Structure 1
């Protein structure tokens, strides 16, 4: 059966941003070039919807797969915090329909697993593996069909992220780097860390839950000054932030960290007055988004190193 595909070229540019759709297709693809700010403005209303999206650099064979409730808000963060990509594929429901939160989570799960299976792209920017959400049989069948269109449209615009690429060996620095230490269980629970408390480190200091994370990283660098930025990121992992994992634990883009107001953030997310330096000479700052729900892993690193910490209540 013949398929008719419709392509809208933004600014009549064959190599520029475009919208791709088909007759009787539940999926519409917005293929946007990173530098095309006008496209984001022109189609702001369309993009303020739940979506599966894939940040791509075809030359470097690198991608990041994500889902969002509102793509226009999410892309602002990626423009400031992820430098590798030069275009993005945004998959939205067509004909005035919208995807549910569960559906875009499932699409992210399907896309990540398919791309991982094909091994055509470096997916190391995805520091967490998407989970398979609970869905009804009918909803799952509908979303599986949607993902078939995702694969077709991605291939149509020249992306082979879901295609097997023979005889390719990806050299991923992130995968090769191992953490210098991994967390162990600590004696405290979330309840113990509840409320306004302070902690000491190795019998010294009086730190808030945020400040002790910075103190632990500083102490780690003092004892292991040769540690590279990649080793630091492998040790102090982004996913330890839990619900705040949209931010970097270790952020080397210090200018963006300082210009949080320009990015529309409601407060500063980093210790910008404490600039640290890795063993390979990269300056960075530490995230401040720590509370009783996510600090335990970092305290587990301190314990694994033989350090001590105590709760000081007032």
Structure 2
């Protein structure tokens, strides 16, 4: 049973080659990360397992991958790149990886929050152009952060925010308990939070979850942080709220279209801080991610399916 890491960037290729060692010679690494979907059938050949980081796998392309039985997706957002139910109907199981970068992503969310509160990116851009643009920042100690969705990443955000002297509100679609968070209704969270941070998985129920109506419910002048998935937010409504000042600042690591188009409204708005979907990119998280992918491959081979 063969596995191919179809779209390894240089960092993940090196991690895979180091961690697979002599135990997993059946895992091949394609070191060309810019793979297009039509190239996948030839690239995979008769391989049964595809390890995918960021390449789309449309169902009609998967149908042409004659040996493919398993997709190991490097993360939790497989649905942004493929349709797991349609693949299952073809006999292809999709495996995701949770928890590998909880601390890394939480730290990025916190970093974006602080950068937004102090308007650091705006001042940095100005000073590079020779302008001394001093800004009044928001003091976050004593302020409220609201976490929408409460998995491992949100729990880490709550831990860090609590240690920073913030009040933490949280809403989750199923009941949760955590000493670092006070669970409330969504309406209350939106109305009271100085910072709103998104931590939902993307699926049919959560697409455009932060709709225009829910954005209108947010506390005027709030900060919005998204390190989850771009499609969780009604993008046009967010842009309008940023333009009006209803959202004072957005710190974004994820976007509906990635890479972000050069002419996108976000790149022209002064009250947006951008990060290139890199929240999870730390050495610790990369090791966790690739180890988990290899464990999926070992389990699949052991089960012989």
Same fold judged by TM-score > 0.5?
no
More helix by share: 2
Smaller-chain TM-score bracket: under 0.3
TM-score of the aligned structures, taking structure 2 as reference length: 0.26
TM-score of the aligned structures, taking structure 1 as reference length: 0.25
